[in-house]
Amino acid sequence: MIIVMAPWATSVHIDDVVVHIRAMGFESRLVSGENRNLIAVEGGEHQLLEKSFEAWPGVERVIPVLQPFKLASREYKSNDTVVLVGADRPGLSPITIGGPELHIIAGPCAVENEKITLEIAQRVKAAGCRLLRGGAFKPRTSPYSFQGLGEGGLRVLEKVRAETGLFIVTEVLETSDIEIVSETADVLQVGTRNMSNFRLLQRLGTVKKPVLLKRGMNATIKEFLMAAEYILSNGNPNVILCERGIRTFETYTRFTVDINAIPAVKHLSHLPIIVDPSHGTGVWRLVEPVALAGIAAGADGLLIEVHSDPQHALSDGSQALKPERLPSLLKKVQAIGAVLGRTFSGT
């Protein structure tokens, strides 16, 4: 940590800071900058940042040197984290996310009823996917929109898993739902609007199930990794990150997929990361090219909305792919993955 003193700071101001740092058990060195002194602190950055040094007289600003996350960092753990999904489902062979195999999680935005969910699931399975997405509890911008089937939706997902063998990825909206959703889900999804719901993250840290953590639409990469840190530091190492688009000034698309974030996260962290081109664009026409871009950028998989009747979908129909478009998309995923040494056990 570097503390930049104001040009007008006196030696009393400097001493106050230095003495306080030493009292906390850390050393510092004084460096003469241009018109101002710098106090370079050796160690203790996380503890010292908690102190509001910028409120001290004579302090111009505080410059952190370290990343704010620890357990999520590549520095802490240099080899890639591989998350095992489905180990507790007898009869189904588990899969790994973050290893050489790419995984495509596909399915409807919301679980609408059993018939259509099963129909979509069968198409998803036939295309070579191993995971089904589908929301039972839906966070909707309007109080007047369809809010999901709730527990009934979980029952549908269980039946569909029994029928197809697909693993289930579904959203948990608040801590009081964790228990019930955990019984059904193979991967617990945290939505973009909950990425900074720290209470939820803490509780998910005490669960064993893998967590799919979507990036907040307003979160920096560092804040995204800090959210993962909440889960990791509470004991659950099975975090899968998901880039799903950030909010920018561009309005032609619903969000802007931050493709830079894929290699940036791979550099900063050991956690797997996938891309959601459906929410990330909001336009079904753009889903395939952005999905392929995600794989080319090094993502470990994709999260794609698929609906067999998008015209009558109860939620987000305009960004859903029809199932008949999946095989061709997945064939390209496989081929591009192969260029980067990844496999996809698809069609």
In the complex, the smallest distance separating the C-beta of residue 321 from its own copies, rounded to whole angstroms, is 10
Q: Does residue 116 touch its own copies according to CB under 8 A?
A: no
Q: How far apart are CA 326 and CA 343, in angstroms?
A: 17
CA distance 25 to 239: 34
Q: Which is nearer to its own copies, 85 or 104 (CB)?
A: 104
Nearer to its own copies by Cβ, of 167 and 284: the residue is 284
DSSP structure class, residue 160: H
CB of 268 to its own copies, least distance (A): 8
- Among 21, 121, 226, 304, which residue sits at the site for its own copies (rule: CB under 8 A)? 226
Q: Which position among 121, 131, 281, 323 is part of the footprint of its own copies (CB under 8 A)?
A: 281
Say how far apart CA 121 and CA 107 lie, in whole Å.
Answer: 7
Q: CB of 78: closest distance to its own copies in angstroms?
A: 10
Separation CA 185–CA 170 (nearest Å):
6
Does 221 sit near its own copies (CB under 8 A)?
yes
Total residue count of the chain as it appears in this document = 347
Determine if 213 is a binding residue for its own copies (CB under 8 A).
no
112 binds its own copies (CB under 8 A): no
Give the per-residue contact string, 233-262, with its own copies (x = CB under 8 A; - = no). Answer: xx----------xxxxxxxxx--xxxxxxx
Residue 252 CB, shortest distance to its own copies, in Å, is: 5
From the list 111, 266, 108, the residue with the least C-alpha distance to 181 is: 111
Would you state the structure tokens that stand for residue 154, as one six-digit string?
A: 């979980």
By CB under 8 A, the count of residues binding its own copies is 114
Q: Work out whether 32 is an interface residue with its own copies (CB under 8 A).
A: yes
* Cβ–Cβ under 8 Å, residues 279 and 244: yes
Which region among 82-90, 98-106, 111-119, 282-290 touches its own copies (by CB under 8 A)? 282-290
How far from each other are the two terminal CA atoms of the chain, in whole angstroms? Answer: 52
Q: Is 179 an interacting residue with respect to its own copies (CB under 8 A)?
A: no
Q: How far is the CB of 52 from its own copies (least distance, A)?
A: 2
Site string for its own copies, 58-77 (x = CB under 8 A): -----x-xx-x------x--
Which residues are 96's β-sheet partners?
84
Binding residue (CB under 8 A) for its own copies from 43, 100, 150, 237: 43
- Report d(CA 135, CA 280) in Å as an integer: 17
The least distance separating its own copies from the CB of residue 154, rounded to whole angstroms, comes to 16
Which of these, 128, 134, 111, lies nearest to 329 by C-alpha position? 128
User: Shortest gap between Cβ of 67 and its own copies (angstroms)?
Assistant: 10
Q: Is 176 in the site for its own copies (CB under 8 A)?
A: yes
Q: How far is CA 252 from CA 8, 236, 255, 281, 293, in A?
A: 49, 38, 9, 9, 19
For 126, half-sphere exposure in the C-beta direction (CA atoms, 13 angstrom radius) is 12
